C-alpha cells in the first residue's frame, strides 16, 4: 500500500486599500491573512477518486460534523454524492482541478483528496482561491508532478474563472505567493515592508454579499452622477498611494487613519451597510487605530488595525461575545506551503 500523503495549505486574503477604485485602474493593496485552507491527498482505498470537504470556519465548528464525501464521476463531469442531505452541489472547480492534474500525471493512481478550510466562504476572504491553490499544490505533489508557482497560480486562476466568471486574479495570486501586493491594471508588485507592530482584526458581519452586485451598483452610480463618483474613486486611489508609503515606513498610526478615510469614501460610494458601519465604529472604540470594510461591501467582513497584540486580542474577544466571528492576522502572511 502507498502510505505517502501530501499536505499543502494556502491562505485567504483581505483588501487593505483600494477596492472598487481598482476596477477603474487605480491601485489596491492586498495582503495574505492567517486563515488557511489545507488539502491532504492520500491513496484512495476504493479505486475511485474521492473528495471529502470539511470546514473549521474561524475555528468555531467541529469539522467532523460538516464533513461531506464525494466521488469523481467522469460521465457527469462532476463530483457526486449519495447523500441527499447536502443542500448545495460541490464547487465545480474541484472537478476541473482534479481532471487537469490527472491528465498531466504520467503515473496513474487514485487519490483521496481531503480539503479543510478555516476561511468562511462568500465573505470576500478569498476562500475559493485558497482551496484551489492548496488542492492544486497537494494533488500535483501526490501525482509526482512538479508544477512551478507560476503554473499553480495560472491553474488556480482558471479554476477561479469557473466560479466567478471574470475574476481579477487577485485572490489566487495572493494565495499562491503570500505577502502584501500592490495591484494595478492586472499587474502585481510584491511590497517589501519592515517588521512592525501591526495586527489586523478581521470581523465577519455574517451578511453574505455578492461582488458582482456591488461592482454593478458603482457602475450605475457613475452613470447617474459621473463627477461625484469619479472624485470618490480618485480619492480612494490617492489614499492607496499614500498607504503604500506608510507601509514602507511601518507607520501603523498613519495606516489606521488612512483606513478610516478609505472606509468613509466607500460609504459615500454606497457600498457599505449599517452593520459594517457599526462594526467599524466598535473596532475604533475597542482601541483600533483605524478600520474599514474590506472587499466588495454590502456585507462580508470589516478590518481594524491595531498597534498592540493584547488590545487586538481583547477586541476579538469582545466581538465574539457580541456573536461575531473574529480573528487576528498579521500582515503579509505566507503563501502556499507544504505542511
Ligand atoms: O469582496 P471581494 O474579495 O470579491 O473583492 C472585490 C473587490 C472589488 O474591487 C470590489 C472588485 C474587483 O474585482 O476588484
For every residue of 79-105, DSSP letters joined together read EE-S-TT--SPPPTHHHHHHHHHHHH-
The set of residues, in sequence order, having a beta carbon less than 8 Å from that of 187 and lying 6+ positions away, is none
Residues with CB under 6 A from ligand 1: 15, 19-20, 22-23, 124, 168, 211, 215, 295-296, 300
Q: What are the catalytic residues?
A: 171
Q: Which atom of ligand 1 is nearest to the CA of 300?
A: 1
* Ligand 1 binding pocket mutation candidate from 129, 296, 297, 301 (most atoms within 8 A of CB): 296
Q: Where are the domains of the chain?
A: 5-189, 199-330
In this prediction, residue 195 carries a pLDDT of 87
Atom 5 in ligand 1: which residue has the minimum CA distance?
295
For domain 199-330, the question of CATH label 3.20.20.70 is answered with: no
Angle between helices 226-249 and 211-224 in degrees, nearest 10: 130
**What ranges in the chain are assigned the alpha helix state H?**
93-104, 127-142, 149-164, 170-177, 211-224, 226-249, 252-269, 274-285, 309-321
Dihedral pair phi/psi, residue 11, rounded to 5°: -90, 165
Q: Please answer whether residues 240 and 27 qualify as being in contact, where contact means their C-beta atoms are separated by less than 8 angstroms.
A: yes
Q: Which atom of ligand 1 is nearest to the CA of 23?
A: 14
Over its C-alpha atoms, the chain yields an Rg (Å, rounded) of: 20
> How far is ligand 1, taken at its centre, from the CA of residue 224, in Å?
22
**Beta pairing class for 50-55 and 111-117:** parallel
The reply to whether CATH 3.30.2310.20 applies to domain 5-189 is no
Distance between Cα 328 and ligand 1 center (Å) = 22
Q: How far is CA 60 from the centre of its chain?
A: 18
pLDDT digit of tens for each residue in the chain (339 aa)? 455 899 999 999 999 999 999 999 999 999 999 999 999 999 998 889 999 988 766 545 444 456 788 889 888 889 988 766 665 678 899 999 999 999 999 888 999 999 999 898 889 999 999 999 999 999 999 999 989 999 999 999 999 998 877 778 899 999 999 999 999 988 999 999 998 889 999 999 999 998 889 999 999 999 999 999 999 999 999 999 999 999 999 999 999 999 999 999 999 999 999 999 999 999 999 999 999 999 999 999 999 999 999 999 999 999 999 999 999 998 878 999 999
Q: What's the predicted TM-score (pTM) here?
A: 0.92
Cβ neighbours, 10 Å, residue 42:
18
Residues with Cβ within 8 Å of residue 227, at least 6 apart in sequence: none
Q: How far is the C-alpha of 258 from the C-alpha of 196, rounded, in Å? A: 17
Query: Greatest CA span in the chain, whole angstroms?
Result: 67
Structure confidence at residue 263 (pLDDT): 98
Phi/psi of residue 297, nearest 5 degrees: 90, -170
Q: Specify the pLDDT at position 107.
A: 83
CA 41 to ligand 1 centroid distance, Å: 31
**CA 43–ligand 1 middle distance (angstroms):** 37
| Chain centroid, CA 236 distance in Å | 21
Please tell me the predicted confidence (pLDDT) of residue 54: 83
pLDDT at 89: 75
Confidence at residue 65, expressed as pLDDT on a 0 to 100 scale: 53
Amino acid at each position: 500500500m502507498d502510505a505517502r500523503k501530501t499536505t499543502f495549505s494556502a491562505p485567504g486574503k483581505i483588501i487593505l486599500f483600494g477596492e472598487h477604485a481598482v476596477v477603474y485602474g487605480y491601485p489596491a493593496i492586498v495582503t495574505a491573512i492567517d486563515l488557511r485552507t489545507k488539502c491532504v491527498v492520500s491513496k484512495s482505498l476504493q479505486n475511485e477518486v474521492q473528495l471529502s470537504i470539511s470546514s473549521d470556519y474561524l475555528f468555531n465548528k467541529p469539522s467532523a460534523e460538516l464533513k461531506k464525501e464525494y466521488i469523481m464521476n467522469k460521465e457527469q463531469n462532476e463530483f457526486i454524492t449519495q447523500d441527499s442531505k447536502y443542500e448545495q452541489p460541490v464547487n465545480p472547480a474541484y472537478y476541473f482541478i482534479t481532471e487537469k492534474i490527472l491528465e498531466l500525471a504520467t503515473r496513474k493512481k487514485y487519490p483521496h483528496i481531503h480539503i479543510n478550510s478555516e476561511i468562511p466562504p462568500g465573505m470576500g476572504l478569498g476562500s475559493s482561491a485558497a482551496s484551489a491553490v492548496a488542492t492544486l499544490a497537494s494533488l500535483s505533489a501526490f501525482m509526482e508532478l512538479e508544477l512551478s508557482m507560476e503554473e499553480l497560480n495560472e491553474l488556480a486562476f482558471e479554476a477561479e474563472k469557473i466560479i466567478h466568471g471574470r475574476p481579477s486574479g487577485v485572490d489566487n495570486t495572493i494565495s499562491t505567493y503570500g505577502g502584501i501586493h500592490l495591484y494595478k491594471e492586472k499587474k502585481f508588485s510584491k511590497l517589501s515592508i519592515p517588521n512592525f507592530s501591526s495586527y489586523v482584526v478581521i470581523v465577519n458581519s455574517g451578511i453574505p454579499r455578492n461582488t458582482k452586485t456591488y461592482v454593478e451598483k458603482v457602475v450605475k452610480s457613475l452613470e447617474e452622477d459621473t463627477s461625484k463618483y469619479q472624485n470618490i474613486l480618485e480619492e480612494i486611489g490617492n489614499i492607496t498611494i499614500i498607504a503604500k508609503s506608510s507601509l514602507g515606513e511601518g507607520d501603523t498610526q498613519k495606516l489606521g487613519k488612512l483606513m478610516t478615510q478609505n472606509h468613509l469614501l466607500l460609504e459615500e460610494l454606497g457600498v457599505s451597510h449599517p452593520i459594517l458601519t457599526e462594526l467599524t465604529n466598535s473596532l475604533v472604540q475597542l482601541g483600533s487605530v483605524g478600520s474599514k470594510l474590506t472587499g466588495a461591501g454590502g456585507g462580508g467582513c470589516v478590518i481594524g488595525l491595531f498597534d498592540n497584540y493584547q488590545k487586538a486580542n481583547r477586541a476579538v474577544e469582545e466581538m465574539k461575545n457580541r456573536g461575531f466571528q473574529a480573528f487576528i492576522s498579521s500582515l503579509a502572511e505566507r503563501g502556499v506551503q507544504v505542511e
